[in-house]
Amino acid sequence: MKRHLVKLCTGAALVAAALSAHADGAFNQTDKRFVTDAANAGVYQVQAAQVAAKRAQDPKVQAYARMLVEQREKSNMALEKLAASRSMELPRELEHELRRRVRSLEEDKPEKVDREFVKNIGLDDSEKDIERFQRGRERVKDPELKRFIEASLPMLQAQRKQAMGLIGNLPE
Residue 34 has pLDDT above 80, yes or no: yes
Band of the pLDDT at 17, cuts 50, 70, 90?
very low
Q: Is the pLDDT confidence value at 6 over 50?
A: no
The answer as to whether 129 is a domain residue is yes
- CATH number for 98: 1.20.1260.10
Three-state secondary-structure class, residue 93: coil
Q: 106 is in which domain, residue-wise?
A: 28-167
Q: Tell me what the pLDDT averaged over the chain comes to.
A: 87
pTM for the model: 0.83
In this structure, the number of other CB atoms found within 10 A of the CB of residue 114 comes to 25
Q: Does 14 map to a domain? A: no
pLDDT tens digits for range 76-112? 999 999 999 999 999 888 999 999 999 999 999 988 9
- Is residue 77 included in any domain, yes or no? yes
Residue 10 counted as domain residue: no
Assigned domain for 80 exists: yes
Looking at the structure of the chain, the number of domains it has is: 1
CA-nearest of 88, 24, 91, 63 to 159 is 63
∠ CA 18-88-71, rounded to 5°: 110
Helix (H) or strand (E) run with residue 148 in it: helix 143-167
Q: Is the pLDDT of residue 156 over 90?
A: yes
